[in-house]
Chains A and B, each alone.
Chain A
Amino acid sequence: MEKIADYQLLLQLGEESLGRTYKAETPSRLGVAAQYLTIKIRKRLVNDEGFSKLCLHLATANSVQGPHVAQIYDVGQEGDYIYVASEFFDGGSLEKPALPLSRVDVLSAVSAAAQGAHELHEVGLTHCAITPGNIMVSEPAKVTDISFLNILSPGQILAGAQDTTPIEFQSPERIQGQPTSRSSDIWALGTTLHKVLTGHSIFPDLPDETLLSSVRHILNTKPIMSDALRNGERRIIERALDPDPSERFETAAQMSEAIAAEAKRQEEAGVE
């Protein structure tokens, strides 16, 4: 694919089961100063009502009071495809950073992402898809790619076998079909923090034969903390991953503060 609508696609940034994400040149009609933007394209048949719901949902995400959520510029539909154009980040994501990051940088980025999640919660939304790939490295770091799966298909938990949100980042209660909440995003922040600090999943033995076997594994297995974690990091992650959602951090802002405090401790201790 070279173009959609009036967007010239320059570079493919990612691929999922339902579509692709590209770097594109910013059309002048948007009135946006940035030369480039990120455009997410999904093959999806959406009627007018579904398209309007999607626009309202993303406009609400855009209305957050704070700098920790990536801006969305344009939502559109061409044929069987819908697209979402949003802010582009030179620094890459925590999954694929453009430059090496120190441990303190990583902690600070996840702290900022938790603040971004909190900003969404304060306007009544959940992110539902927090992963290392959706935390963009900038100053400050921002969360991007808010999920709209459940807006287009109420009740849907996972988009597909190659979901944009790998199943390990979905809270067990969410996999069971419970509604999304502050605490389900807090779980995702905990699993993300573990992954970016250690390089390992909290479910190291997650089977990959079928999605069903993965789901069964997560619902019947406790998360395993890596020995590579420092004590302060471990305490934060364990609290975020408490099986009882009401025992997790009450808000993502509280989790953000705890991570920021740990980053400060490590910075003062000279941790690389």
Chain B
Amino acid sequence: MGRSRSRPLSLTMKIKVNTWTVPAYWSWDVENEDVCGICQVAYDACCPTCTVPGDGCPLIWGECSHVFHMHCLIKWLNAPNSQEQCPMDRTPWKTAAAHS
């Protein structure tokens, strides 16, 4: 939106990737929806205040079956107008027992 990042012009280099091998990959075990309903960022990415996805920015499951970035949900539950309700269905938030 009107802001551009200046970029050194002479440092671009063309690389052709012939093959690549993935030693491992991970994703959160979430069905259906792919973004957090609070920040609208993908579950597999991190919440807006973190920079690295993964164990440092975990997801949290509610008994109501809704899933959020844990940091997003904590911020919401601490907001005075949350009344400690799930953002999606307004039932009192109860964290689900360990997800299998």
Do A and B truly interact? no
